[in-house]
């Protein structure tokens, strides 16, 4: 493959149904092509406008923790072995995905100027079918700003958590000596203390 491809789904009445994302024909054709090639997906990257981290010290347990909150627009980047990147993004302007044959990250925010930055990543490998199943889980979800809808930003956040197998927001352990999280903070012992599903 290696060629760039993209597609966008416009919102209807300010609401985007998960079924429109799941049934995006061109995206499904791309995933089917990867599946036939036996392509491995080597991890995911979460990009966002901002990540807020609040550090706290617990005197009773002599330990530090950090609480992460991801803010603003975001997008999920799926890494492949041998066929570049797939970006998935949901905003008030609609659902957009792009397949780029290179491994160069981009991503403009709503102002069209500032770049989205990497706020979390995972190297946990998974199959194309895992991605398809994760998308299928949001089929009956309605995204929007109205009452009863899930915020647009939740799309990439929850997809990241399902594919990475851990939360990207919430509380995590912090190394009191180095002032940064343990290497295991992205794994089991130092992972965020927040539930993966909401």
Evaluate whether residue 191 is within a structural domain.
no
pLDDT for position 175:
79
CB atoms < 10 A from the CB of 27, how many?
Answer: 22
pTM above 0.75, yes or no: yes
Distance CA 30, CA 5 (A): 9
Domain region containing 155: 5-51+74-166
Q: Which of 37, 46, 44, 43 shows the shortest CA–CA distance to 2?
A: 37
Q: Which of 31, 25, 23 shows the shortest CA–CA distance to 126?
A: 31
Evaluate whether residue 195 is within a structural domain.
no
Q: Domain count of the chain?
A: 1
pLDDT for position 115:
82
pLDDT digits (tens, 9 = 90+) for 33-87: 999 999 999 999 999 999 999 999 989 988 899 999 999 999 999 999 999 999 9
Residues forming a β-bridge with 31: none
- Which two three-digit tokens encode residue 130? 């895992």
- Which two three-digit tokens encode residue 178? 């180095």
Evaluate whether residue 187 is within a structural domain.
no
Evaluate whether residue 121 is within a structural domain.
yes
Evaluate whether residue 58 is within a structural domain.
no
CB half-sphere exposure, 103, CA atoms < 13 A: 9
Q: What is the mean pLDDT of residues 118-137?
A: 97
Evaluate whether residue 150 is within a structural domain.
yes
Evaluate whether residue 19 is within a structural domain.
yes
Q: Average pLDDT, whole number, for the chain? A: 85
Evaluate whether residue 173 is within a structural domain.
no
pLDDT-based confidence at residue 122 (cuts at 50, 70, 90)? very high
pLDDT-based confidence at residue 10 (cuts at 50, 70, 90)? low
């Amino acid at each position: 493959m290696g060629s760039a491809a993209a597609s966008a789904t416009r919102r209807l009445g300010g609401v985007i149904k998960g079924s429109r994302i799941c049934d995006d024909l061109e995206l499904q054709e791309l995933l089917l092509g990867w599946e036939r090639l036996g392509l491995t997906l080597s991890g995911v990257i979460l990009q966002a406008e901002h990540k807020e981290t609040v550090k706290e010290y617990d005197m009773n347990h002599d330990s530090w923790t950090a609480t992460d909150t991801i803010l603003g627009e975001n997008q999920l980047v799926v890494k492949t072995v041998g066929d570049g990147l797939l970006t998935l993004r949901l905003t008030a302007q609609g659902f957009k995905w792009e397949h780029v044959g290179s491994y160069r990250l981009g991503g403009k925010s709503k102002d069209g100027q500032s770049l989205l930055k990497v706020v979390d990543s995972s190297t946990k490998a998974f199959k194309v079918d895992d991605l398809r199943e994760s998308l299928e889980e949001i089929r009956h979800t309605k995204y929007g700003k109205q009452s009863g809808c899930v915020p647009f930003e939740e799309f990439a956040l929850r997809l990241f958590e399902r594919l990475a197998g851990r939360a990207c927001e919430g509380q995590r352990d912090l190394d009191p000596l180095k002032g940064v999280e343990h290497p295991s903070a992205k794994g089991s012992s130092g992972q965020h203390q927040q539930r993966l599903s909401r």
